[in-house]
Amino acid sequence: MKGGVGVPVGWAAAGAVALVAAGLFGISAGAASLSAADIVRHLLSLLPFGVESPLTERQAALLVELRLPRVVMGAIVGALLATAGGAYQGVFRNPLADPFLLGAAAGAGLGATLVMVFGQELGGSPRALVPVAAFVGALLGVAAAYLLGSTAGGGGTASLVLAGVAVSSFLSAAQTLVQQMGVDQLQRIYAWLLGGLGRDGWNDVRLIAPYAVVGLAVLLLCGYLLDMLALGDDKAVSLGLNPAAVRIVVIGAASLATAAAVSVSGLIGFVGIVVPHVVRRLVGSNYRAILPVTVLFGGAFLVLVDIVARTLVSPAELPIGVVTAFLGAPFFVLILRTTRHRST
């Protein structure tokens, strides 16, 4: 069963349930255990329903100030990275397109690092400048990878991936150079690069919320246009579409989504490959269905990964980017093999 815009209601409902379940699990997991029932009752007590909270003052503070913003941030970042990956795959018609592989994440990382090191000299609020600098860096990274892949290798899957790797390597080297110019910020930048969600609580949520809303809204509205692009440029033009304009809008929105995520969570790879491919297996190749379902499953995926990152070696905590790399690298190899077999 599908809604009026092509969204499969069953899978959308499953994604919503998965996101809520992952959120409750993420809030309850930790050294101080909180039951899902107590969490729900406390959240209801914050509303004018007359429900009394079962939590102590310390438990309530732990829930509202530490765990809840971390889960919300995981859901937002996961949704942004996964949806951006799905959009890149659609606009480039390439199953291996991903913010991490196309240079978007590396470009965003360079932009954010520049602000961290030199932000005080720019005046204003360096923290507020991070998403803007990350967005500019993400756009430049994707543009460089796409141009290099198109001119040097004909724009095929392998050439685009190799171009993205080359551009990412160059941007990462530039980022390392910038880091050496700000030795006093080195520990902070290094921790940020490995990826994490528990840094600044609700402040991070408020910082990226406007960018996340705009980026996701534009991408979801472009689902139908991506379906038309999948027919080929000639067919799309005959249907009244301007392929170049659509690509600019989608790439811009996907880069904004990537930049917003990277600016607060650091470099978290493979989310944009794993989630859209799983969703495509579930709902088919229609981007009007893929993108909204990817938002939900992307959020649930990263919340669950974050639970693993903070509990696997407790009381220590693994960088979330390390966990996604362990999960995503084998998945990427599998996709690469499948893509190669289809092309031969």
φ and ψ at 102, to 5 degrees? -90, 0
pLDDT per residue as tens digits for the range 165-204:
899 999 989 988 888 887 777 777 777 777 778 677 898 8
Domain for residue 170, yes or no? yes
Residue-averaged pLDDT of the chain: 85
Q: Which residues does 11 contact at the CB level (< 8 Å), separation at least 6?
A: 279, 282, 283, 289, 293
The residue range of the domain holding 191 is 9-343
Q: What pLDDT, on the 0 to 100 scale, is given for residue 157?
A: 58
| Cα gap 139→116, rounded to integer Å | 19
**CA atoms 203, 208, 214, 217: torsion sign:** negative
Structure pTM?
0.87
pLDDT per residue as tens digits for the range 217-251:
999 999 999 999 988 888 989 988 998 899 889 98
Domain for residue 235, yes or no? yes
What is the CATH number for 64? 1.10.3470.10
- Report the Cα–Cα distance between both ends of the chain, in Å, rounded: 35
Domain for residue 45, yes or no? yes
Domain for residue 2, yes or no? no
| Cα gap 271→264, rounded to integer Å | 16
Q: And the tokens for 307?
A: 């639970």
Domain for residue 334, yes or no? yes
H-helix segments, the chain: 9-28, 36-45, 57-61, 68-92, 104-122, 126-153, 157-181, 186-193, 202-221, 223-229, 233-238, 243-265, 271-283, 287-311, 320-343
Domain for residue 331, yes or no? yes
Q: Which of 94, 147, 112 is nearest to 276 (CA)?
A: 94
The whole-number mean pLDDT for each consecutive block of 10 residues of the chain, a chain of 344 residues, reads 62 95 89 81 82 86 89 95 94 82 86 82 67 88 86 67 87 88 73 74 90 95 92 89 90 90 86 92 92 97 93 83 87 74 52
**CA atoms 220, 155, 339, 194: torsion sign:** negative
Q: Which of 219, 99, 109, 92 is nearest to 147 (CA)?
A: 92
